[in-house]
Chains A and B, each alone.
Chain A
Amino acid sequence: MSISIKERSLLHEKYEDFDMVVAVAGQPNVGKSTLINRLLGHALSHVGNWPGKTVDILAGIVEFQGFRILFVDLPGTYGLSGTSEEEEITRKYLIGVYSEEKHRHRRSICEKCPLSIFCSSPRFCPARVLEQLVRRKRALSPIQYSPDLVIAVVDATALERTMYLAVSILEVHPNVIIAVNKIDEAYNRGIYVDVNKLSRKLNAPVVPISALKGEGMKELLSAIIREWKRIHLRKKRLVIDYDILEPYIRNLESIVRKIKALRKYPTRWIAIRLLEGDKEFLEIIRSSDRELYKQVLREIDAAKGNVGMNLEDVISSLRYSFVSEILKDVIQEKTKIRLPEHVLKTFDRIIMAPVIGPVVSIGVIFLTMFAAFSINIGFPLNVILESIGYQDIASMLEEYSLVSILDLVFGTLLDTFKEILISFLPEIIVGFIVDGILSGLFFILTFMPLIFIVLFMLTLLEDSGILARIAMSLDSIFAKIGLSGKASFPLFLGFGCNVPAVMASRTMMTREEKIAVILASPFVLCQARMIVLIAIATIAFRDPLYQALAITTVLLLSVLLYVFVAGISMKLLGKKGEESSLIIDIPPLRKPSLRVAWWNSWILTKHFLEKAGTIIVLLSALVWALLSFGPSGYGVGISESYAALLGKALSPVALLWGISNPDSAWKIMFAFFQGFIAKEGLIVTIAQFAEGSFEGAWQALGLSPLQSFAILIAMMTYVPCVATLVTMYHELKSWKLVLLGIVLMVSLSIVLSAGIYWFFVLVDYVT
């Protein structure tokens, strides 16, 4: 299989000094991230991307008994047969497709060492020290190494389903350790797992663990070292009896063996993949030998004809039968009732109820966002406190909200820097450093807590099992526009910040649904735009009733636009016969782990900072340059700058809203331009024209309430901010689609705002 790894520097960190690579795989909800957090929590770990993919990869080195273990976290998947990006990645990584040929084998002398079984710590081994001095290893990104061992994490409370992936991995990889997680929870529920029996039956080490409590971590690490020392002894993969398909598997195997390009991969597994309809392997065979390709097709057709059923169905069924057979006398349950406790929780019954369910879901969402907002900016909790008479607490809340504290700190820092630098550097360089680079950097740092908080809330909801229930209860509403209940996540996260909203698209059921929600996400009013909306609405309209009306209309419009854009995209993208209907497992409700949520959201936020940070700082510097330079050189006033020229060039656009006064027109267009970096720019820019007073500046524009409203709508919808754009690209990996998203927003924004303006003008004219 030829896969060109274009992005060489996938991770900022490249790894060279380690003894073994251990991949960690598991189905969603088995507690894999808790385990990863336990293992890597204190280690240096990094997030990157799989080559050309939108899926994150996490890696880190852990030292145990003198051995350095490089852990690679694989995406959570239910199996290995699917067409999703996650499954493709896991599949390919396990058979070593991504790995660099030279580094496939023998990274460390210990692997060849006959004494290794007796060795307790290689730290002072002379041979190893010598090896490290002599051999210069090339540092590579973690995925470029093939895994020596795989840890398959399974859930003791749902062993049958979660063992399916473990068994699929055992078929692909010869060295697998099974980690049975939540062993304590299972025990409490009366489920007893005989790990020794399981180990004997699968001929693989099985370690019971409780990742949440941190139990069994030492045993797991010891098992890794023990297994790794005997790696050369066991090279047999698990063979499942596929009954009626066996003759076809054998025939396909003999064909596959003749194909050079596939020689290094497990042949039996490839034969099974071919029966499951793997297009990639078929393509490799087609391009290498036409005759063999025809034989393969004949073989597959014969199997289909003989079985008379969908081959994928047959293979999965047999694999599951194998799992059930294995587990027969491995699990002992005290209780005979197969109905798990968690279905019967009151919360479940409420959320499953027809009308109350969706209402409760939306309530939970609302409260979550309310908490996120209040921590970050104090709003809307301050308004509530104020209205019930707690002015002091309200103003304190506002003063000590995260954003105001950060604003204060960074503002002071900027001023101090400026004062110090100006004493020995020319003004132009100080301006560049302070107003260009540093203010861009500080902007993104002020913006990070919001992303972090929203992601943190999301992880808490997900970890507790509430998110799956929200998706379920809102499914019937979203099903009407061809989406699944999961499409509600970006919508509600978007109210906090569009960046995590776009990130949440990765949980969608299909690629089409993912694209649809990504294109729709930037229409949701984020916190920044909410502030702009409130600021403008309260100034543009005198009557509080009109203020409230304007704010509500714009908010509702943003929700409608999300639904409309997602629905239309789904209609256009959706393949016939493929459905984006909900298929999710509903994990038991449980108390989420704050520690894991914290760690997960921190890693994602950090990763976002690495991705978007440079771009935002560069753009901030560019804006500074546009603002400070004009045709006549440096140090001109704002109205003489290149930015103003740009605004003037764009000013005819303002005619759409009937704004013919050239002075107002360019100022507004200029604000639009600034708002692209960050939506706060929309008010900050206009405020600049009246010495910082936004109210005065807005009134000086001389807009009618109708014009203000039209511009408000345009401002709320015209384009995603840079940070969102970067995230959109990161999740889609296609500039074409990102561009489509921008074009969609710009055109909808123009049509809507101008449409509303001219409609009312016409109504006014007629009456």
Chain B
Amino acid sequence: MFDSISLDSVPEGARVKILSLMVGRGARQRLLEMGITPGTEVLIVNNKHFGPILVLSRGTIIALGRGIARKILVEVISNEHINQGKKSPT
């Protein structure tokens, strides 16, 4: 088994790999179509332990409710904290 944790417990700024989706059929289809497929790498843009979690996946920001995020298992790849304020594209 991988070192898997649920998406809602990953800190902001971490890069994770999606391992599995433990959600119902409707939510699964929605996630898959939006690009949250097993094996995808996503960046946690926002996680405040309150409200939805924002992830950057395939160039789009996706907001995931905590209920869903709890059921998405991921593997942390890197855990660098990004200072969002300073890193804006030129």
Contact = CB atoms under 8 A, between A and B. Distances in A.
A581 B7 CA distance: 14
Contact of B67 (A158, A344, A579): A579
B38 A340 contact: no
A316 B32 contact: yes
Interface centre among A84, A161, A354 (most CB of B within 10 A): A161
Nearest to A80: B33
Contacts of B61: 340, 342-343, 585-586
Contact of B24 (A352, A577, A584): A577
B45 to A, nearest CB: 5
A749 to B, nearest CB: 32
A324 B57 CA distance: 12
Interface in A336-355: 337-344, 349, 352-354
B42 to A, nearest CB: 11
Contact of A317 (B25, B29, B39): B39
A485 B65 CA distance: 9
Contact of B63 (A189, A342, A468, A577): A468
Contacts of A510: 26
Given A81-B32, A312-B32, A357 B60 contact: no
Interface residues of B, number: 48
A586 B61 CA distance: 5
B11 interface: no
A344 B35 contact: no
B56 interface: yes
Given A335-B89, A352-B51, A472-B51, A81 B29 contact: yes
A354 B58 contact: no
A189 B27 CA distance: 32
Contacts of A82: 26, 29-30, 33
Given A341-B88, A578-B27, A313 B60 contact: no
Given A161-B60, A485-B65, A586-B54, A316 B88 contact: no
Interface in A290-344: 309-310, 312-313, 316-317, 320, 324, 335, 337-344
A583 B61 CA distance: 11
Contact of A575 (B24, B54, B56, B64): B24
B38 to A, nearest CB: 5
A160 B58 contact: yes
Interface in A444-482: 468, 471-473, 475-476, 479
A343 B54 contact: yes
A653 B38 CA distance: 60
Contacts of B54: 343, 352, 472, 586
A575 B24 CA distance: 9
A582 B85 contact: no
A522 interface: no
20 contacts: A78-B33, A79-B33, A83-B25, A157-B59, A160-B58, A164-B33, A341-B88, A343-B45, A343-B46, A476-B50, A479-B65, A479-B67, A509-B26, A578-B26, A579-B24, A579-B71, A581-B66, A582-B64, A583-B62, A583-B65
Interface of B: 20-21, 23-35, 37-40, 43, 45-46, 48, 50-52, 54, 56-68, 71, 82, 84-85, 87-90
Closest 8 pairs between A and B when the two form their complex, measured CB to CB:
A581-B65, A79-B33, A582-B65, A581-B67, A316-B32, A578-B24, A78-B33, A581-B68
Given A338-B56, A352-B51, 17 more contacts: A78-B30, A81-B29, A158-B58, A161-B58, A312-B32, A313-B28, A320-B37, A339-B45, A339-B82, A339-B87, A344-B85, A354-B50, A479-B66, A577-B23, A579-B24, A581-B64, A583-B68
